Amino acid sequence: MFSLPVISEKTVARLALYRRLLGDLLSQGRRSIYSHELAALAKGSAAQVRRDLMAVGYEGSPARGYSVEDLIGALSRLLDHPATQKVALVGVGNLGRALLSYFAGRGSQYSVAAAFDADPGKVGLAVNGCPVYGPDRLAEVIEREGIEVAMVAVPAGEAARTVHDLCTAGITGILNFAPVRVWVPEGVYIEYLDMSMSLERVAFFARSKRRTSQQDSALAK
Amino acid sequence: MFSLPVISEKTVARLALYRRLLGDLLSQGRRSIYSHELAALAKGSAAQVRRDLMAVGYEGSPARGYSVEDLIGALSRLLDHPATQKVALVGVGNLGRALLSYFAGRGSQYSVAAAFDADPGKVGLAVNGCPVYGPDRLAEVIEREGIEVAMVAVPAGEAARTVHDLCTAGITGILNFAPVRVWVPEGVYIEYLDMSMSLERVAFFARSKRRTSQQDSALAK
DNA sequence: GCCTGTGAAGCTATTCACAGCT
DNA sequence: AGCTGTGAATAGCTTCACAGGC
């Protein structure tokens, strides 16, 4: 069996982006594409695209470039779980509900199979078709459903305990929306998605753009 | 006047993280901190912390390290707008509401001063204290309030038009939650926060963690 | 001793540039 | 001609290692 050629986080992020862009293209009836065209859409360079695709193992032809459909297939084989992947959500507040509707709406390969919330008023409900359990049933439900990936949308104060419990329950991937850094054991991948830090970054660069808008072209290159 | 020493996006992201961590520390009564301690919290290296702080222009003392309070001040002078910064939000769906409550709750330096939604049933309401306008009033309100940064939480199909209108209205920084890449004119900074792509990344690395959990220590280093 | 600030080294990621194909 | 795939070169980021200070 092949061992994966160790793809960096940045490359994985771009591959996921390429797949999304290619999906749009396919729905517009596009059959094939060249690296420089895909690069323009992804705001990268043609060489970058080609190098990224080396990791995928799909080869295009110099004559017609890459087949949109085949490339999506190759990306999906690399990126996706063989079956539809079940995901857990902890915290059914405003953000949690937004996530439920987000992943319920689109025909994505992810389905949020279980949600958890400490509020007894929410336990037992089904939000966007997803059942809400009490936090005491975390381990049990995760094991029963065979869930490996979880999203955390609880208040900052509860994030550390939530993440700990998830790891204990056997979760190996966590997307954490709470604005705190938490410790995870080895063998668990955690990613932070902190909206207010993102906004800070945007505000900072918006200001520096304003100051130096002449030199922008250099940056954009 | 000093020109900013051109700080990279990665550094800005880490500086924002340091500030958050320092804020937690300060509320726990911590007065000073060494680079290696801050590094441990941020999961980076001590050298990285020191190098990042060079960009800030604040200097610690070898004896006591950095003053938590002063460092927060220095970071804030660099990262923040002099005044509380007003932000616009377009799209008051599930996600939009989550954002409004997120930024209303915390005593952040950002206040969402105006929200926009095409649904006439929402126009005229105040959600979390933020007034909701119709899209036709975008330019007028943004100009009147002096808003420079906007968050976009509209469906994918409307994102391109929304972003275009925001740029026309004079916005220079955009945080886009819609899962599409859109063109912006020079002088506008845009950042994408795509939850399903983040989830894809987490799922991918969760799987590779599982396969190679022996070698993790090398990665964690 | 143990700390900070920083030049220099080391690494990673990206781009260049060209052979090979159609 | 114009494309892909890829070794080689470059740019960018991170760590090392040490001078200087308490």
For residue A162, give the CATH number of its domain.
3.40.50.720
Task: Round to whole Å and give the CA distance between A175 and A163.
Answer: 10
**Is residue A14 situated within a structural domain?**
yes
For B57-75, what is each residue's pLDDT tens digit?
A: 898 888 889 999 999 999 9
State whether B63 and B97 are in the same domain.
no
Q: How many angstroms separate the CA of A115 from the C1' of C14?
A: 41
At residue B86, does pLDDT exceed 70? yes
Q: Do B91 and B166 fall into the same domain?
A: yes
Q: How much is the mean pLDDT over chain B?
A: 89
Instruction: Enumerate the H helices of B128-184 as residue ranges.
Output: 138-145, 156-168
Residue A209, pLDDT score: 67
Contact B150, B89 (CB under 8 A): yes
A154 touches chain B (CB under 8 A): no
Q: Are residues A67 and A160 in the same domain?
A: no
- B60 with B157, same domain: the answer is no
| Residue B221 reports pLDDT greater than 50 | no
Q: Domain check: are A72 and A91 in the same one?
A: no
Contact B201 A110 (CB under 8 A): no
DSSP 8-class letter at A173: E
Q: Residue A83: its pLDDT value, please?
A: 78
Together in a domain, A159 and A136: yes
Higher pLDDT, B108 or B160: B160
A102 in contact with B at a CB cutoff of 8 Å?
yes
Residue B43: pLDDT over 80: yes
Query: What is the β-pairing status of strands A126-127 and A130-133?
Result: antiparallel
Assigned domain for B211 exists: no
- For nucleic chain C, give residues with Cβ below 7 angstroms from it: A 8-11, 44-45, 47-48, 50-51, 61-63; B 34-36, 46-47, 50-51, 53-54, 58-62, 65-66
Are A197 and B110 inside 8 Å of each other by CB?
no
For residue B188, the SS3 value is coil
**Is residue B210 domain-resident?**
no
Cβ contacts of A20 on chain B, cutoff 8 Å = 179, 194, 197
- What phi and psi, each to the nearest 5 degrees, are found at residue A52? -60, -40
**Rounded to an integer, what distance in angstroms lies between the CA atom of residue B197 and that of residue A118?**
28
Domain-embedded: residue B36: yes
CATH number at residue B13: 1.10.10.10
Q: Please answer yes or no on whether A99 and B220 come within 8 Å at the CB atom.
A: no
How far are the Cα atoms of A2, A192, B39, B68, B189 from residue A18, in angstroms, in the given order?
Answer: 24, 22, 34, 42, 21
Q: How far is it, in rounded angstroms, from Cα B22 to Cα B49?
A: 13
Number of domains making up chain A: 2
Statement to judge: residues B24 and B56 lie in one domain? yes
Provide the pLDDT for residue B211. 52
- Chain D footprint positions (protein CB, under 7 Å): 2-7, 12-17, 20-22
Q: Could you list the pLDDT tens digit for every one of the 221 residues in chain A?
A: 444 567 899 999 999 999 999 999 999 999 999 999 999 999 999 999 999 999 998 988 989 999 999 999 999 999 988 777 899 999 999 999 999 998 986 567 899 999 999 999 999 999 999 999 999 999 999 999 999 999 999 999 999 999 999 999 999 999 999 988 888 888 899 999 999 899 999 999 988 766 554 333 323 32
Considering the domain architecture, whether residues A57 and A73 belong to the same structural domain is answered as yes
- B211 contact residues in A (CB cutoff 8 A): 4
d(CA B50, CA B34): 10
> Using CA atoms, how far apart are residues B84 and B147, in angstroms rounded to an integer?
11
> Which residue is listed with tokens 């090398």?
B218
Q: Which two tokens stand for residue B125?
A: 């309401």
What per-residue confidence (pLDDT) applies to A44? 93
Most confident of A208-212, B46-50, B98-102: B46-50
B160 lies in a domain?
yes
Is the predicted pLDDT of residue B117 greater than 90, yes or no?
yes
Looking at the complex, report in whole angstroms how far the Cα of residue B117 sits from the nearest Cα belonging to chain A: 16
Residues 41-100 of A with CB under 8 A from B: 41-43, 79-81, 85, 87, 93-95, 97-99
Distance from CA of B60 to the nearest CA of A (A): 24
Whether A114 and A189 share a structural domain? yes
Q: Are A95 and A190 within one domain?
A: yes
Instruction: Supply the range of the domain harboring residue A40.
Output: 9-77
Say if A216 falls within a structural domain.
no
Coil, strand or helix: which one is A184? Answer: coil
Q: What's residue A84's pLDDT?
A: 79
Query: In whole angstroms, what is the distance from residue B134 CA to residue A207 CA?
Result: 27
| Interchain CB distance below 8 Å, B216 and A94 | no
Same domain, B69 and B126: no
Phi-psi region of A27 (alpha: psi -120 to 50; beta: other; left: phi over 0): alpha
> B95, B177 in Cβ contact below 8 A?
yes
Return the higher-pLDDT residue of A102 and B214. Answer: A102
A221 touches chain B (CB under 8 A): no
Of how many residues is chain B composed? 221
Burial of A72 (0-12, 13-18, 19+ CB in 10 A): buried
Tell me which nucleotides of strand C come within 7 A of a protein CB.
Answer: 2-7, 12-17, 20-22
Average pLDDT (B125-153) is 96
Instruction: Decide: B116 and B90 in contact? Cβ < 8 Å.
Output: yes
Rounded Cα distance between B202 and A199, Å, is 22
pLDDT band at B208 (very low <50, low <70, confident <90, very high): confident
Q: How many Å apart are CA B138 and CA B162, to the nearest integer?
A: 10
Chain B residue nearest residue A9, CA to CA: B201
What residue spans of A146-190 are helical by DSSP H?
156-168
Asked whether residue B208 is domain-assigned, the answer is no
Partnered with residue B87 across adjacent β-strands are: B112, B149
- Convert the pLDDT of each residue in B146-190 to its tens digit: 999 999 999 999 999 999 999 999 999 999 999 888 888 888 999
Question: A58 and A106: one domain?
Answer: no
Instruction: Kindly state the average pLDDT of the residues B112-118.
Output: 97
> Of B77, B110, B134, at which residue does a domain stop?
B77
In a domain, B181, yes or no: yes
CB distance from B188 to chain A under 8 Å? Answer: yes
d(C-alpha A53, C-alpha A39), whole Å? 12
- pLDDT score of A73: 94
Q: In this model, does residue B20 exceed pLDDT 80?
A: yes
Q: Is B193 within 8 Å of A191 when comparing Cβ atoms?
A: no
Closest by alpha carbon to A57, among A79, A40, A39, A38?
Answer: A79
pLDDT of residue A216: 38
Residue of chain A minimizing CA distance to B148: A206
